[in-house]
Amino acid sequence: MTADYLVIGSGIAGLTFSVKIAEKFPDRKVVIVTKASEDESNTKYAQGGVAIVLNKEEDSFKKHIKDTLIAGDGLCKEDVVEMVVKEGPDRMEELLLWGANFDVNDSGKFDLGKEGGHSEYRIVHHKDITGYEIERALLSKAHQLQNISILPHHFAIDLITNHHLPEVDLDELTCYGAYVFNQKSGEIFTIKANSTLLASGGIGCVYGHTTNPVIATGDGIAMAYRAKARIKDMEFVQFHPTALYDAKGQSSFLISEAVRGFGAYLRNKKGKRFMLDYDDRAELASRDIVSQSIDSELKKSGEPNVYLDCTHLDMDAFCEHFPNIYNKCLEHHIDIKTDWIPVVPASHYLCGGIKVNKKGKTTIANLFACGECTRTGLHGANRLASNSLLEALVYAHNIFKYHSKNDYKSIAINIPDWNDEGTSIPEEHILIQHNLKQLQALMRDYVGIVRSKKRLKRAIKHLDLIYEEVEDLYRESKITTSLCELRNMVNVAHLIIRQSLERTENKGGYFNVDNVKK
């Protein structure tokens, strides 16, 4: 198959770019491959909203920039922060034009929420299902454009670069498209593209306990890494402070930070509002601080969870604002009106990823990346809540602008078919499951909120064993989605651990006991 633009992923990043470029060039073909149903993505589960400065009377770009820089703990790129924050209102205008709806108050203005680390009310939202609404609007717009083809249940296995084309003698490492696995038919085919965009989302599933859906296995980052793109800041895994706790320890449902913005308190089992001991902003400190404080409380008490107390809040207003959260808790026999919600931190977001410049260019020619799989410099050591949907919108626009101005040369090369020689053994599901569980336990126990050199080194040793076994399986077995995902998660885990070991100073979401100055 050929495409002018190959887009890997159908969340906010992939869809926004696709809609824009397809509208601008109706005679060019955009192919979106996406590994599950077309709406499945981290985007779909976003709750809190999009951080945008709209109330210019009380808020300002300056304040949003300052909040982002404080959360990022000295590691944000200031020019990137300024660009992203200032473009927010224009990108929001486009979402509205494409049919997305956001809540308004009685005076017809946007009903702005507040979250940890924000000094003002600036979170534009649709109840507590903002991402669902954005994904709906973007897909509906994409379906109206004839030159976009969406291929659901198509898994991108690897990028095609010079490494696959020994006869091509190009100085510059270049991307020519991807090998793609049709998950329904089992066929593997090439998609040759003049430009490829990785919009493949996050890595949450590398940890057993995550707020992310099962698709978040870091495929794009692993593909880019194997293709030798630069990957950066992988040590900055963000743990969301408040995922719903269930006794089996597997629940991943998020209790939005906006609930704390609405006035909820964090309490330990004895009922103490412990955040007051850790930060003047208490429950509304940035999430690195809240997660580390909860971790410290749990270590002191030996309890498995802390609690979020909403019982003092106006419950009619609460249910109006957070109907999804209220109902989900009821399903777990927790009535927020009278019960405290048991919560624990869970892996939520990756601040690092594929290094891109302001135009979304990676270090490989013709390969762009956008959204959660990237490291743009916006988040530094810790992402400010609700800045990631904004980042995806702004970078999708920048990549679109770049493609509008710079015409590409059509690449005339022959790409070899996928070589599956010697891979005749059917996958052994039990081996994949076992290795996955080991990997997730290893990351949770040794590479969690609080790290140490000893645990990280031990993690590398264990990971090497898993790596060898998974690579053997990959060489011998027929391709399956779960095998490819496991292989990708092992690559991502390797990057997180290695880059953690390289960090000698604690910053933002990264805390290593051996880096504490004595």
Which are the catalytic amino acids? 287
| Residue 225 interacts with, from ligand FAD, ligand SIN, none (CB under 5-8 Å by kind) | none
| Residue 392 interacts with, from ligand SIN, ligand FAD, none (CB under 5-8 Å by kind) | ligand FAD
Residue 34 in contact with ligand FAD, rule: CB under 6 A: yes
Residue 8 in contact with ligand FAD, rule: CB under 6 A: yes
**How many Cβ atoms sit within 10 Å of the Cβ of residue 60?**
15
Among 6, 31, 81, 199, binds ligand FAD (CB under 6 A): 199
Q: What is the C-alpha to C-alpha distance for residues 15 and 8, in angstroms, rounded to an integer?
A: 10
Three-point CA angle 234, 236, 242, nearest 5°: 135
Question: Among residues 362 and 388, whose Cβ is nearest to ligand SIN?
Answer: 388
User: Applying CB under 6 A, which residues contact ligand SIN?
Assistant: 47-48, 256-258, 349, 385-386, 388
Residue 46 in contact with ligand FAD, rule: CB under 6 A: yes
The region of 11-19, 267-275, 317-325, 458-466 touching ligand FAD under the rule CB under 6 A is: 11-19
| Beta strand extents in 183-316 (DSSP E only) | 188-198, 231-232, 237-244, 265-267, 306-309
Residues 6+ apart with CB under 8 A from 433: none
x/- binding map, residues 134-173, to ligand FAD, per CB under 6 A? ---------------------xx-----------------
**Shortest Cβ distance from residue 330 to ligand SIN (Å)?**
19
| Residue 12 interacts with, from ligand SIN, ligand FAD, none (CB under 5-8 Å by kind) | ligand FAD
Place of tokens 């916006």: 378
Q: What is the C-alpha to C-alpha distance for residues 313 and 418, in angstroms, rounded to an integer?
A: 58
Question: Among residues 14 and 48, whose Cβ is nearest to ligand SIN?
Answer: 48
| Residue 241 interacts with, from ligand FAD, ligand SIN, none (CB under 5-8 Å by kind) | none
**How many Cβ atoms sit within 10 Å of the Cβ of residue 501?**
16
Question: Among residues 48 and 201, whose Cβ is nearest to ligand SIN?
Answer: 48
Residue 128 in contact with ligand FAD, rule: CB under 6 A: no
**Shortest Cβ distance from residue 469 to ligand SIN (Å)?**
34
Three-point CA angle 434, 437, 438, nearest 5°: 85
Q: What is the CA radius of gyration of the chain?
A: 22
Three-point CA angle 83, 85, 90, nearest 5°: 90
> Residue with CB nearest ligand SIN?
48
Residue 463 in contact with ligand FAD, rule: CB under 6 A: no
Among 158, 179, 196, 153, smallest CA distance to 18 is for 196
Question: Among residues 34 and 347, whose Cβ is nearest to ligand SIN?
Answer: 347
Among 41, 162, 305, 435, binds ligand FAD (CB under 6 A): 41
x/- binding map, residues 356-375, to ligand FAD, per CB under 6 A? ---------------xx---
Tell me the two tokens of residue 268.
């330990």
Q: What is the C-alpha to C-alpha distance for residues 349 and 148, in angstroms, rounded to an integer?
A: 29
Tell me the two tokens of residue 374.
């990237």
| Residue 161 interacts with, from ligand SIN, ligand FAD, none (CB under 5-8 Å by kind) | none
Q: Which residues of 90-124 are buried (b: 16+ CB within 10 A; e: fewer)?
A: ebbebbeebebebbeeeeeebbbbbbbbbebbbbb
Q: What is the C-alpha to C-alpha distance for residues 149 and 135, in angstroms, rounded to an integer?
A: 16
**Shortest Cβ distance from residue 123 to ligand SIN (Å)?**
8
Residues of this chain that interact with ligand FAD (CB under 6 A) are 8-14, 33-36, 40-43, 45-50, 130-131, 155-156, 199-202, 211-212, 215, 219-220, 254, 349, 371-372, 386-389, 392
